Amino acid sequence: MPRVINKPDWQRAVIITSATVLTVTIGSLLYWAQAIVIPLALAVFLSFVLSPIVSALQRRGIPRIPSVVFAVLVAVAVCVSVVGVVGSQLASMTRTLPKHEENINRKLATARKWALGMEGSNRIGAMIDRLGKTLSPTPPVTESQSQNEEASAAPAPSTVVLEAQRPSWASKLDGYVSPVAGFLGEAAFSFILVIFILINKEDLRNRMIRLMGDGKVTTTTRAMDDASRRVSRYLLVQFLLNSSFGIIIALVLFAIGVNYALLWGFVAAIMRYVPYIGSWIAVIPPTIFTLAVSDGFWEPIVVVVLFLGLEAICGNVFEPWLYGSSLGVSGVAQLVSAAFWSFLWGPIGLILSGPITACLLILGKYTPSLHFIEIILGDEPALSPSVALFQRLAARDQDEAARIVLAESKKMSPVDVCDQVIIPALAMTKAASQEGDFSREELDELLKTSREVVEEVLHELPLPASANVASENPVRVLLCPAQDDIDQVSLEAFARLLDPTKWEVRVTEVVALASEVLKLVAEVKPAIVFVGSLPPGGMAHTRYLCKRLKTHFPDLKIVVGRWSSLETAEDSEKELLEAGVDRVDTTMESARNHLDNWHPVMTAQRSADGEPEQSAGGSPTRNRSPATASAS
């Protein structure tokens, strides 16, 4: 378990203050420098989209510069054509929509009648008027107020301002030229920047490697190449899928006779860049338009069904197939990112929020100093299952702790659940207890919860294949905790992993003296003593106990389970083997496998020596709690 470095309060305060100031500064720069940052963001987005096309042209023998120029010119032509067609349709719609005012009023009246009925609508309207008069009564007019109103009604002297008369066409031209010139300037800057980015792609990559490599050139190069390919493929596939979505919408709407189908297809394609809610927003304008201009309600219904049905097909069929493995952006991060960038840059920020979030996530994955970005934006769990289990156990949340273990048991085998989830969580518990994080009462409650979780999760384990074959003489194994109750809980979990047809398992209580363990071994006469020792700590006591056992019982098999070892495995194994231990295992899987390998040999040896059958007062069952089988 990694150690958490506790920083002093003043250092944490400095970090928080610095991060706040830096965040506010960056946000302010992004807002006030929109004229530069938005074209730059668009250029980076287009360079990622066009990079695979340029690479494909180069593989066919076309040099870099002609390939870049050709790809950019095609992109410019497509953008100009789309903007021209969409702009003309938008202008035409604004001219023709007022002609349908009568139809709009009739639809509103029909909708009101359907919802409330004419009589109910009148009563509700009258009630609203009465409530408004009650809440905001008209104050009585006093004599002084009447005189003031008469005085204010008198004509006031007017101020005459002389200005040079400008032609009306000049004013209109200025109103049109200024926005168009600004838009064309930003677009031209973006496309010129795209050309230079694509031509100097390798130089920019090398500068990024030097900036973020931290001396690890090979690793950083591979990471940058992989990230660039993944982002380029993701954005290109996203662009093609969204464009296809818009084209299909436009064709279907055109086929059913909806006016301005190209405009609605363009809106649909653009809004699909907005995560989760983009298609829901895109369906609103064509639905309202068809409600306004159509005679009935079937066209709006067809529009809604078309949008939502096609979105369901794309989201559940084509996106998983085309995208492959997801970039791993969480849903909450996508929505928050959409809100943030739309606040900074308006509609263009809303459209670019998805690509920007994906690029930031990749940057956080491959840049160690920016790993916090991956934690914030990624969809991977912030805590590993073992840490999450420890956290829920410490919070005494048995239900959530059991859900964590059950969820992991669906992904891996029971023994892997113990090795990778339960045992690391118990090791963290032991470390926290040694540091004084838990009182005795809190530790007892945590161990009680741990036992209940282990019993709930492991009591229905599938029996091994050998469990269907009756065993007349199972080998007796004594599981002995080395030091404390946490060791005992780990052994109780291990006991449930052993085949009850092969092993007669007993888990002892925690005893303070080695002499008591020796006395218990002499009474039970096990074939194997299995000592459970969960780090951190306990190594000296485990080594001393094993020495005493080997001295008094030279022929006894002694195995130590040093679970989830935080120390060097070779060092602890060497010390224990010198103390007389036959084997040291650091995982429950290896311990169970070695016991199963020993079982035929020990059974044959006992039969050859003519030893009587061991009886445990009945065959052990899988669902019996190890605590009830503890030796007294």
CATH for 443: 1.10.1240.10
Pairing relation of β-strands 503-507 and 528-533?
unpaired
- One domain, residues 314 and 430: no
For 18-36, how does the pLDDT look when each residue is reduced to its tens digit (9 = 90+)? Answer: 888 888 888 888 888 888 8
For 326-353, how does the pLDDT look when each residue is reduced to its tens digit (9 = 90+)? Answer: 566 777 888 888 888 888 888 788 778 8
Average pLDDT of the segment spanning 38-56: 87
- Examine residue 434 and state whether it is found in any structural domain, yes or no: yes
For 366-420, how does the pLDDT look when each residue is reduced to its tens digit (9 = 90+)? Answer: 777 778 888 888 877 778 888 999 988 888 888 888 888 888 888 888 888 889 9
CA distances from 156 to 147, 148, 207 (A): 16, 14, 70
For 518-565, how does the pLDDT look when each residue is reduced to its tens digit (9 = 90+)? Answer: 898 999 889 999 999 888 888 888 888 899 999 999 889 999 998 865
- One domain, residues 223 and 298: yes
Alpha-carbon distance 205 to 353, whole Å? Answer: 23
- One domain, residues 339 and 392: no
Alpha-carbon distance 153 to 151, whole Å? Answer: 5
Range of 102-116, 120-134, 569-583 with top mean pLDDT: 569-583
- One domain, residues 218 and 365: yes
- One domain, residues 234 and 316: yes
Alpha-carbon distance 179 to 174, whole Å? Answer: 9
Whole-number pLDDT of residue 156? 54
Whole-number pLDDT of residue 171? 55
Whole-number pLDDT of residue 538? 82
Question: What's the angle, vertex CA 74, arms to CA 52 and CA 246, rounded to 5?
Answer: 80
Q: How confident is the model at residue 252 (pLDDT cuts 50, 70, 90)?
A: very high
The two three-digit tokens of residue 113, written as one number: 């009648």
217-255 and 201-212 helices cross at what angle (nearest 10)?
Answer: 130
Q: How confident is the model at residue 627 (pLDDT cuts 50, 70, 90)?
A: very low
Whole-number pLDDT of residue 93? 83
- One domain, residues 425 and 520: no
Residue ranges making up the domain that contains 403: 385-457
- pTM, full prediction: 0.61
- Comparison of pLDDT for 105 and 425, the residue scoring more: 425
- One domain, residues 489 and 552: yes
Alpha-carbon distance 447 to 441, whole Å? Answer: 10
The answer to whether 529 and 554 have CB atoms below 8 angstroms apart is no
Whole-number pLDDT of residue 245? 92
- For residue 426, the tally of other CB atoms under 10 A from its CB is 27
The answer to whether 334 and 376 have CB atoms below 8 angstroms apart is no
Q: What percent of the chain has pLDDT over 90?
A: 9
Average pLDDT of the segment spanning 594-623: 62
Average pLDDT of the segment spanning 60-69: 91
Q: Please give the backbone phi and psi of residue 615, each rounded to the nearest 5 degrees, phi first.
A: -125, 135
Whole-number pLDDT of residue 615? 43
The total of structural domains in the chain comes to 4
Spatial CA neighbour of 414 closest among 460, 380, 371, 448? 460
- Examine residue 350 and state whether it is found in any structural domain, yes or no: yes
Q: Is the pLDDT of residue 358 over 70?
A: yes
Least confident of 357-371, 418-432, 587-601: 357-371
Whole-number pLDDT of residue 73? 92
- One domain, residues 350 and 487: no
For 207-241, how does the pLDDT look when each residue is reduced to its tens digit (9 = 90+)? Answer: 877 776 666 677 677 767 766 777 777 777 888 88
The two three-digit tokens of residue 149, written as one number: 């109103």
Q: How confident is the model at residue 616 (pLDDT cuts 50, 70, 90)?
A: very low
* Surface-to-core class of residue 159, CB atoms within 10 Å of its CB (0-12 exposed, 13-18 middle, 19+ buried): exposed
The answer to whether 388 and 381 have CB atoms below 8 angstroms apart is yes
Whole-number pLDDT of residue 483? 85
The two three-digit tokens of residue 29, written as one number: 């720069």
Whole-number pLDDT of residue 35? 82
The answer to whether 303 and 258 have CB atoms below 8 angstroms apart is yes
Alpha-carbon distance 119 to 122, whole Å? Answer: 5
Alpha-carbon distance 578 to 558, whole Å? Answer: 12
- Examine residue 554 and state whether it is found in any structural domain, yes or no: yes
Whole-number pLDDT of residue 120? 47
Q: How many residues does the chain have?
A: 632
- Examine residue 22 and state whether it is found in any structural domain, yes or no: no
- Examine residue 183 and state whether it is found in any structural domain, yes or no: no
Alpha-carbon distance 560 to 558, whole Å? Answer: 7
Whole-number pLDDT of residue 86? 86
- Examine residue 14 and state whether it is found in any structural domain, yes or no: no
Q: Is the pLDDT of residue 439 over 80?
A: yes
Least confident of 46-50, 468-472, 494-498: 468-472
What DSSP designation does 492 have?
A: H
Q: How confident is the model at residue 175 (pLDDT cuts 50, 70, 90)?
A: low
In the sheet that holds 475-481, the strands lie side by side as: 503-507, 475-481, 528-533, 557-562, 583-585
Whole-number pLDDT of residue 129? 59
- One domain, residues 220 and 359: yes
Q: What percent of the chain has pLDDT over 70?
A: 76
Alpha-carbon distance 115 to 124, whole Å? Answer: 12
The two three-digit tokens of residue 253, written as one number: 């709407």
Name the average pLDDT for the chain: 78
Domain end point (choices 457, 492, 507): 457
- Examine residue 478 and state whether it is found in any structural domain, yes or no: yes
Check which CATH number belongs to the domain holding 490 and give it.
Answer: 3.40.50.280
Least confident of 218-222, 284-288, 463-467: 463-467
Q: How confident is the model at residue 477 (pLDDT cuts 50, 70, 90)?
A: very high
Average pLDDT of the segment spanning 501-509: 89
- One domain, residues 363 and 218: yes
- Examine residue 343 and state whether it is found in any structural domain, yes or no: yes
- One domain, residues 360 and 405: no
- One domain, residues 555 and 414: no
Whole-number pLDDT of residue 244? 92
Average pLDDT of the segment spanning 455-475: 61
For 145-157, how does the pLDDT look when each residue is reduced to its tens digit (9 = 90+)? Answer: 555 555 555 555 5
